[in-house]
Structure formats: C-alpha cells, structure tokens
C-alpha cells in the first residue's frame, strides 16, 4: 500500500494547467510518503518548498509561485496550494 496523487483530467484544459494542478501537490505527497511522521515539520516543509518551486521553474513547470508572479495569466490566490 502507498500514497496516490490522482489528477482527473476531464476538466483540465491543457498541460500548463495540468502542471499547475499536479506538481505542487507532488511535493507535499513526497513529504508525507518519504518522511517519518515523527520527523515531519511544517516549518521545515515550507523551507523545502522554496527549493522545490525553484526546481519546477527551472524545468518550466507551472506552479503557484509563478501565478503569484503573474506568469500564469490569472490573478494570484492566497495560500500554499491555491486551487
């Protein structure tokens, strides 16, 4: 048994939106899957997110920080995963 991170694509119009919906969540799923419960820390995860978002940007993957910078073509929303 393990974790699953499905994305139902019936209502995802393009790959840019699929990236935006998929990759930020995969970082959180990886944290849950690979970090022992006693070692999980919200503050530490937030620090790791900065590096994760930078990596996504290097590969041209759409993510919430790009949206906040105005690169997603829509207004930014508040919150860690603003969908």
Put simply, whether the predicted model's pTM sits higher than 0.85 gets the answer no
CA distance 3 to 45: 18
CB 66 within 8 A of CB 72: yes
pLDDT, one tens digit per residue, over 4-53 is 888 888 888 988 888 888 887 898 899 999 999 999 999 999 888 888 88
The dihedral through the CA atoms of 32, 35, 38, 42 has a sign that is negative
> Per-residue confidence at 67, pLDDT binned at 50, 70, 90?
low
CB 76 within 8 A of CB 70: yes
Confidence at residue 1, expressed as pLDDT on a 0 to 100 scale: 67
């Amino acid at each position: 048994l393990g974790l699953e991170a499905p994305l139902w694509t019936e209502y995802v119009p393009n790959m840019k939106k699929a990236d935006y919906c998929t990759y930020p969540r995969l970082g959180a799923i990886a944290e849950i899957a690979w970090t022992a419960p006693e070692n999980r820390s919200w503050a530490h995860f937030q620090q790791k997110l900065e590096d994760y978002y930078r990596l996504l940007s290097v590969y041209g993957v759409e993510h919430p920080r790009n949206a906040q910078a105005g690169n997603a073509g829509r207004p930014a929303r508040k919150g860690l995963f603003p969908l």
